């Protein structure tokens, strides 16, 4: 395999998570007895351009199907995040009714709706039919296709270019990352701006976030590797923000070369920090295999011990990252009988691979479970706050990444009673940052 960015030859995988189904391929009851596609889940590192990437096994048409289940509007934290971004972008770029905004991978249209409500002409691009239908129902104009350089040129010719192009958590999802970057340049006005958000590979390494690796994520980006891709398309990164979303993300701001904005010192500082953290060195990435295996072993230890003690364990959040974790660990309904999720698009279905049933949170009663394992650990504080009645009833909440940890609600001095007498797992108060591996600074 050659690097999807610079075409250099790649060495052996730095992380091997075995075989797994696509993480968002949720199953209906009728499909449980049908054969299920499993693909290798292995990551390789390019020593030339420093891009961490999956092996080429996945077809985007297989991954981003018409019934693709992810919906951005189910998290209050995420809705607040996109609202803050939209308002800041409107002020920073002086966007008004004469401007134009294009969002790539707009999902259910929540971000676009904020611009539209301010009278700013907006266009969404979303290949997943169900998500596109939801956005249209909210009044958004949607093109239901995969974004490409060809589509960008067509939009620029027929509809005009954009002052702001937004792609939140999309850049990592495209196999032809160079063609995607070329499309960004084609659809953006000469003095326009493109903003890209994506999980920062530095956070992945610091906090052993191996479960964020799944087939829909083709690339795992640093500022350095993202800048390399964009420069190949004639685009210049002039600013960068470090975000808390998805366990640690970047938002980069780019322009056409020569557009005139000066490069922020934040860009230079982060490039240096990435270099000091060893993000250009293959050995930095190889450590992730052992840490992933320790997390898997601890989770299995806990679930097997809980079954032996007849303790009741459920999961919350049918997130893609949870599917990576459960399939890597080989967890099935005998150890984890149910997962609760707020997205109607997932309720009544089953997790891919593990076949654990997904139920609505409305069916989750206080006192039903001794433990609730929160799979989307990046939303753990939000989940604990939403389910505080369970905490009061004695349910203990846990996360498995970066290490198996018991969460206590902010008002509690001790963990919930259900944890008493079990293995002494680390305890972290909800809202506190997880511990960082000192080997990756």
**Phi-psi sector, 84: left (phi>0), alpha (psi -120 to 50), beta:** alpha
Which contiguous run of DSSP H or E holds residue 303? Answer: helix 282-308
d(CA 208, CA 198): 17
Residue 265: partners with Cβ closer than 8 Å, 6 or more residues away: none
Check residue 1 and give its pLDDT. Answer: 87
- Residues 237, 223: contact at Cβ < 8 Å? yes
d(CA 405, CA 374): 10
**Residues spanned by CATH 3.40.50.720 within the chain?**
289-429
For the domain made up of 289-429, give the CATH fold.
Answer: Rossmann fold (3.40.50)
Size (the chain), residues: 441
Closest alpha carbon to 407 in 368, 434, 436, 369: 434
- Cα(first)–Cα(last) distance of the chain, in Å? 30
Check residue 417 and give its pLDDT. Answer: 45
d(CA 75, CA 268): 33
**Residues spanned by CATH 3.40.50.150 within the chain?**
15-283
Check residue 440 and give its pLDDT. Answer: 43
Q: State the residue for tokens 């934040």.
A: 266
What are the DSSP E strand ranges found in 147-247? Answer: 162-168, 188-199, 219-220, 235-243
Q: How far is CA 186 from CA 139, 180, 253, 336, in A?
A: 26, 10, 16, 48
Residue 364: partners with Cβ closer than 8 Å, 6 or more residues away: 314, 316, 340, 387, 390
Structure tokens at 76: 């209050």
Check residue 361 and give its pLDDT. Answer: 95
Closest alpha carbon to 202 in 248, 266, 264, 252: 248
**Phi-psi sector, 322: left (phi>0), alpha (psi -120 to 50), beta:** alpha
- Residues 222, 249: contact at Cβ < 8 Å? no
d(CA 326, CA 208): 15
d(CA 114, CA 118): 7
- What averages of pLDDT result for each successive group of 10 residues across the chain (441 residues)? 95 96 93 94 97 82 56 69 95 97 94 95 93 93 95 96 96 94 98 98 97 95 98 98 94 97 98 97 97 97 94 96 98 98 94 98 92 94 89 90 82 46 57 49 37
Structure tokens at 176: 């032809």
d(CA 210, CA 441): 17
The count of C-alpha atoms lying within 13 angstroms of the C-alpha of 388, restricted to the half-sphere facing its C-beta, is 9
Q: State the residue for tokens 């939303």.
A: 379
Check residue 59 and give its pLDDT. Answer: 65
What are the DSSP E strand ranges found in 283-390? Answer: 313-316, 339-340, 358-359, 371-374
Check residue 78 and give its pLDDT. Answer: 80
pTM of the complete model: 0.89
d(CA 155, CA 122): 13
* CATH number of the 15-283 domain: 3.40.50.150
Structure tokens at 61: 């048409």
Check residue 250 and give its pLDDT. Answer: 98
d(CA 342, CA 386): 11
Residue 396: partners with Cβ closer than 8 Å, 6 or more residues away: 370, 371, 372, 406, 407, 415, 416, 418, 419
d(CA 412, CA 177): 47
Q: What 3-state DSSP class applies to 388? A: helix
């Amino acid at each position: 395999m050659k690097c999807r960015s610079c075409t250099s030859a790649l060495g052996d995988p730095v992380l091997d998570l075995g075989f797994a189904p696509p993480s968002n391929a949720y199953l209906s009851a009728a499909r449980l007895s049908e054969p299920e596609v499993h693909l290798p889940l292995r990551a390789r590192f390019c020593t030339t351009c420093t891009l961490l990437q999956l092996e080429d096994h996945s077809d985007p048409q297989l991954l981003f199907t018409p019934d693709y289940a992810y919906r951005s509007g189910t998290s209050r934290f995420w809705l607040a995040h996109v609202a803050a971004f939209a308002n800041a972008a409107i002020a920073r770029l002086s966007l008004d009714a004469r401007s134009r905004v294009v969002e790539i991978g707009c999902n259910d249209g929540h971000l676009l709706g904020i611009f539209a409500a301010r009278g700013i002409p907006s266009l969404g691009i979303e290949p997943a039919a169900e998500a596109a239908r939801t956005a249209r129902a909210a009044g958004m104009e949607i093109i239901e296709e995969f974004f490409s350089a060809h589509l960008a040129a067509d939009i620029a010719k027929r509809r005009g270019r954009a002052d702001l192009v937004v792609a939140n958590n999309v850049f990592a999802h495209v196999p032809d990352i160079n063609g995607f970057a070329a499309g960004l340049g084609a659809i953006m006005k000469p003095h326009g701006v493109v903003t890209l958000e994506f999980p920062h590979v530095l956070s992945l390494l610091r906090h052993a976030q191996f479960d964020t690796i799944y087939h829909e994520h083709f690339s795992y980006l640093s500022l350095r590797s993202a800048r390399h891709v964009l420069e190949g398309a004639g685009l210049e990164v002039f600013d960068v923000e470090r975000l808390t979303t998805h366990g640690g993300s970047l938002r980069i701001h780019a322009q056409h070369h020569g557009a005139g904005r000066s490069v922020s010192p934040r860009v230079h500082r982060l490039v240096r920090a990435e270099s000091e953290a060893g993000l250009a060195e293959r050995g930095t990435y190889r450590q992730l295999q052992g840490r992933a295996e320790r997390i898997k072993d601890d989770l299995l230890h806990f679930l097997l011990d809980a079954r032996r003690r007849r303790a009741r364990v459920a999961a919350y959040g049918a997130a893609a990252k949870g599917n990576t974790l459960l399939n890597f660990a080989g967890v099935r309904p005998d150890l984890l009988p149910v997962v609760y999720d707020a997205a109607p698009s997932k309720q009544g279905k089953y997790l891919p691979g593990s076949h654990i049933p997904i139920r609505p949170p409305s069916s989750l009663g206080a006192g039903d479970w001794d433990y609730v394992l929160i799979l989307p650990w990046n939303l753990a504080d939000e989940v604990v706050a939403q389910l505080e009645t369970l905490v009061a009833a004695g349910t203990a909440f846990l996360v498995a990444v970066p290490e198996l940890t018991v969460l206590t609600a902010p008002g509690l001095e001790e963990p919930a009673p259900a944890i008493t007498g079990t293995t002494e797992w680390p305890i972290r108060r909800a809202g506190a940052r997880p511990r960082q591996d000192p080997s990756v600074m």
